[in-house]
Amino acid sequence: MDGATGQAGAVSGINKVKSPIELAYTIMNHSPHVMLSGKGAEQFAELHGLASVAPEYFITQSKLNQINKVLSQKDSMSLSFYDPNIKASKMGTVGAVALDQSGNLAAGTSTGGMTNKKHGRIGDSPIIGAGTYADNASCAVSATGHGEFFIRNVVAYDIAAQMKYKNLALKEAAQASIDRLSKLDGLGGVIALDRNGNIAMPFNTNGMFRAYAKANGEIVIELFD
Ligand code: ASP
């Protein structure tokens, strides 16, 4: 999502496009739509010359191990996005928020989704306002976590709305949204950035791989609380 224009692009339910985030960006810039899904999205990608791969390209041993572990548990209905052995989940959702020197914000989120989800399930990542949001007037947000909670609580927009309508600072707004999730037992976190370069990265799990880089060269990488 582009915080300067309010334009957004999203894609869901695909397994042949090499770079789904590039497809989302192409949908934003070259279609009148916000979200395309499934076959139509893949046709659109082909039309615009985006690289395609066999679905197997996305299968990794660590993800296979993760799903086999979940399936071997008694309750195979359980969904997981977070592995206590955080090394096993480092290939999960990737989110980015950015601010340019003109004060423009942008947010992007890409994911394979939760482990052991139903075929056809769409998470929060491509849903504007839930897992991804950007508006120059407030902030840019990218989320990770149990998507259903982020959708039901419109978390990314919730943070922006509190800044816009309640005049909260980014840190307070982001923390308040995560606190609301905690009360509902919804797990996850966000990375968020406002137009003054303030950064907030609250989460209610044991860890969330996160990092930031500032214009002055400062780079910070954090894994756990
Ligand atoms: N939020 C993603 C989903 O619900 C999962 C994740 O962040 O790992 O699909």
More confident residue, 12 or 70: 12
For atom 9 of ligand 1, the residue with the nearest CA is: 113
Which helix (H) or strand (E) is 134 found in, with range?
strand 132-134
**Residues tagged active-site:** 93
State pLDDT tens for residues 189-220.
999 999 999 999 999 999 999 999 999 999 99
In whole angstroms, what is the distance from residue 44 CA to residue 23 CA? 8
CA of 105 to the centre of ligand 1 (A): 22
How many A from CA of 91 to the centre of ligand 1?
Answer: 12
Q: Encode pLDDT of 62-114 as tens digits.
A: 888 888 888 887 665 666 665 544 434 445 799 999 999 999 999 999 999 99
Global pTM?
0.94
* Residue 38, both tokens: 């499934």
Q: What is the pLDDT of residue 168?
A: 98
Ligand 1, atom nearest to 145 Cα: 7
**In the block, residue with structure tokens 């609301």:** 180
Atom of ligand 1 nearest to the CA of 89: 8
**Looking at ligand 1, which residue's alpha carbon is closest to its atom 4?**
147
Closest residue by Cα to residue 204 from 144, 138, 157: 144
Is pLDDT above 70 for 177? yes
